[in-house]
Chains A and B, each alone.
Chain A
Amino acid sequence: MKTSYLTDLTCSDCGRVFSINEVLTFCPDCQSTLISNYDLNAARANVDRDEIHTRSKGMWRWHEMLPIQDPENIVTLGEGDTPLLRLPRVGNELGLSNFFVKDESSNPTGSFKARGLCAAVSRAKELGVKKVIIPTAGNAGGAMAAYAARAGLQAMIYMPKDTPNANIQESRIAGAEVILVEGLISDAAGMAGVKAREEGWFDVSTFKEPYRAEGKKIMGYELAEAFDWTLPDVILYPTGGGTGLVGMWKAFAEMEALGWLKNTKRPRMVSVQAEGCAPIPKAFHADASFCDFWLGAQTVASGLRVPKSFADRIILSNIRESNGTAVAVSDKALMQAQKKLAAMEGIFAAPEGAACLAALEELVKQKWVQPDEKIVMFNTGSGLKYLDTMN
């Protein structure tokens, strides 16, 4: 059995091809994100979709469509196969009969970031990287610290000083050096980039490293499998850097090429951000192909305080291709949604995840969604990591 069908990587802008044996960041010619390519024809011929269902649970049962070449290099903490839960009470209140949450809070380190960092750290280890660095709005730092510890890699993390305390502590206890930054993730990114260049750290910033999106894309595979190889009508996704949204859109295309889907219907992708930092909704509704840097970003949902994603063009393109939309919600609305999810469904969501419910309430009012549509919102992490921001 082949471990991975990864063949090469290409620049998302100029199409330049890169070898899988190189330690890669982003395209040096046009400074754009690299995309991992797989031999989908060979995978279609040799991988049995239904056999995957019988394997041990977790992200790595999809190993053929992940980038690791040697299974010895997989650094796992049991990520993936998170529950897909129906939300009957909230759905009933909204007049929706098929409303679900993909609850990513059960991942290691309590958030969806585990998936991407698991893939990135595993691949970094495979390529001989010894020390990894990341700027983070919170959960990515905790995840990288944990996987780096597991892999025996040195870890350094730059995060805004008002990052939730849980993220700071979980990173430090895993042995990472944590530098608290006066500013936003964009400021942290600048400092981490300088440190990486000066001291040879490998920068696993969102989309400046090609494999985090590969780990995240497995959320799309899991959704398709859960819906018997069809896809939902609508996906609401809280968008900071956007790896999950981009990764899932890529997964849908891969599964179609693999012949695994029962039809060609794709979901309408809804990017959800906070009103205090909404570069994607602003650019989307202005018909722009990239975002302006968002000035004065402010929201309780720390994971959404991303003034400009490195892959903004890809995110906007994916949303448009899906006939989706982008919604900004107020902090008040997302905190009310957080309470509603907990009180009515028993799910203590991260504020970023709860923002999806607030956005859906708006879309119901606008009749942008239909009562019988299959709708999935993503809860990206556990509310337990945000206790110090609850007030």
Chain B
Amino acid sequence: MGNNVLYIEDNPDNMMLVRRALESRGYRLVQALTGLDGVNKAETEEVDLILLDINLPDIDGYEVARRIRSSDKKHALAYVPIIAVTANALKGDAEKALSAGCDVYMSKPINIRELWARVEAFVPSPNSK
């Protein structure tokens, strides 16, 4: 297993925060700023875990999760761990994220210790190997 984390997020501040946090633990971050770019990168790059914002500028995170899970181009995406990350802006975000195919739900603001623990539950930190 590799250590590549795809983060699909349009907010540059969150992107920078998560990049710094995960790279400090030895992960390689692949970034996508839109939902469609996220689906494309999931299908074309080596990805071991996906962090998925729900409020994206084109297709929302639920649709991204559904497209990733049902990808014809890369069947392994049916099993890649997806952690949904949202600001709880709409009712039932968590339930909808899980039913769209996400494995875990985290709310913003993202606590870094929790992020590390959630990611490491699926992909061990390269720094701890």
Contacts and interface: CB of A to CB of B under 8 A. Distances in A.
Q: Is the interface of A mostly helix, strand, loop or mixed?
A: loop
Contacts of B106: 293
Contacts of B110: 31
A294 to B, nearest CB: 9
B94 to A, nearest CB: 5
A290 B111 contact: yes
A187 B90 contact: yes
Contacts, number: 69
A186 interface: yes
A194 B94 CA distance: 18
B112 A31 contact: yes
A186 B95 CA distance: 13
A31 B88 contact: no
Contact of B91 (A14, A182, A313): A182
Contacts of A295: 94-95, 98
B113 interface: yes
B91 A13 contact: no
Contact of A189 (B88, B95, B105, B112): B88
Given A182-B91, A186-B88, A31 B107 contact: no
Nearest to B88: A190
A286 B118 CA distance: 15
A313 B114 contact: yes
Interface in A29-75: 29-32
Interface residues of B, number: 25
Interface string B75-114: 0000000000011111111110010000011111111111
Q: Which of B92, B110, B114, B117 has the most CB of A within 10 A?
A: B114
B111 A31 contact: yes
A73 to B, nearest CB: 28
A26 B89 CA distance: 19
A242 to B, nearest CB: 14
B17 interface: yes
Given A30-B111, A183-B92, 11 more contacts: A13-B111, A13-B112, A14-B112, A30-B112, A182-B91, A187-B88, A190-B87, A190-B88, A194-B87, A292-B104, A293-B94
14 contacts: A13-B111, A14-B112, A26-B109, A31-B111, A186-B88, A187-B93, A191-B89, A194-B89, A292-B104, A295-B95, A308-B107, A313-B111, A313-B113, A313-B114
